[in-house]
Amino acid sequence: MSDTDLCYMGAAEAVALFKARKLSPVELMQAVIARAEAVEPKVNCFADTYYDEAMELARKAEARYARPGARLRPLEGVPVAIKDENRIKGKWTSSGSLTTPKVPDSYTSYSVERLMKAGGIVHARSTAPEFACAGITHSKLWGVSRNPWNTDFTTGGSSGGAGGSLAAGTTTLANGSDIWGSIRMPASCCGVLGFKPPYGRVPEDPPFNLDYYCHEGPMARSVADLRLMQNVMAGPHPLDITTVRPKLSIPAELKPIKGWKIAFSMDLGYFEVDPEVVRNTRALLDRLRDLGAEVEEVDLGWTEETLTAASNYLGHIFGNMIGGLLPRHREQMTNYARSFAEFGQRTTATDLLTSMEVLNDMYATLGPLLERYNAFICPTMPLPAVRADYDPGTDRCEINGREVHPVWGWTMTYPFNMMSRCPVMSVPSGFAGNGVPTGVQIVGRTYDDVSVFRVAADLERVQPLYGEEGARPKL
């Protein structure tokens, strides 16, 4: 097995080989680090790296596997990239900003702590845009992260370094956070999988745990790995009042979806959608039909009022949080962070209330629909990706010759942050002509995570989700 093959090996397979003594955590970590050293100059998906520390932990994991009767944890010896937004005690979290004091964290984020306690080895911090407030990944601090499939284009954001490192083979697993699509956008752009759990399923650090748009979740290259990671991260936490009981574990055996009814919308009623995204989405819907599902197009009746509601909500809470930096740090901030903060300061409490009213109107359509259908499908992004250096604070975006909103017009994810109790997974649907992957979102009934995993697993059986079988970026 080549080092490249090791770099694209799944976590579930690696753990099985570790237990059988056919592979060592040291061998896997060496291969992943070597791959990162070779391709990072091209993709720039890592902020900080901890290679020496990771190798020491890999040697300890190797010894644990060699010890008869040792208690082996679910992720024992598996490389995990952690987003440069989550805390790790004793390490610096920059949040991609020149304004962040270089002070070691005093605690580890709850979901990250679970990954580490499960034996995952943090070898790197994945890049994110400044304060994770954009759907692209570049910052004044870390520069531009580039899509491994075509480096002219973005990895997506805000968990862009996570998606890019999975696609590049520089990590085995990666975590992400999702407040308007920040797990699903990079999953789509980079041809990997990303799961936005329902609100309260995975613990979140305060005060973000109280923002129901905000979710922590797993990213991986297969359904099995996503399941493995999600089962580690999920469950009630004594310091997060929003976490739900009891813990839900995704089963290893996921039943087929033959006989299911699945709804879809190509544009959610108001998006411009690129023809290549439409083509790949229709091909994936045909695969669902081949699996025995009944697939029907539906009209949700949603309008651009959804865009206004979501942007006002996030601006009022998230934008105002960043806005406190403007008086002293305006010039240090990126255009997109400054623009978002300024927008937030113009929103009002009335805007916030109206956004909640719109949310209820939206669910008045989606909720009954999901009673009639087992799941709902739509594209993750209405275009494959924007340019790697695209600046949503200053640049324009066009789809089908029509100018769309520079922030909200090229992602179809944020409506399902509004529908926060619905689990949503982005899975690959194919490639565009420029080589960039495309993806679709699988939306489930509230807190019905297992059904979403069932759809994804059945698709994976007939069409490998990480692009075409054997396809890898040519870096």
Active site residues: 83, 158, 182
Rg (CA), the chain: 21
Q: Residue written as tokens 């090791």?
A: 6
Sequence letter at residue 29: M
Length of the chain: 475
CA distances from 96 to 105, 113, 408 (A): 15, 21, 21
Half-sphere exposure of 352 (CA within 13 A, CB side): 15
DSSP assignment, residue 89? B
Tell me the two tokens of residue 117. 């306690």
DSSP-assigned beta bridge partners for residue 404: 397
Tell me the two tokens of residue 313. 């909500």
Q: Is the peptide bond before 382 cis (omega within 30 degrees of 0)?
A: no
Q: Say if CB 354 and CB 242 are below 8 A apart.
A: no
- Residue 208: exposure state from Cβ atoms within 10 A (0-12, 13-18, ≥19): buried
Pairing relationship of beta strands 437-443 and 375-379 according to DSSP bridges: antiparallel
- Residue 22: exposure state from Cβ atoms within 10 A (0-12, 13-18, ≥19): exposed
CA pair distance 417, 281, nearest whole angstrom: 21
Q: Residue written as tokens 């403007």?
A: 326
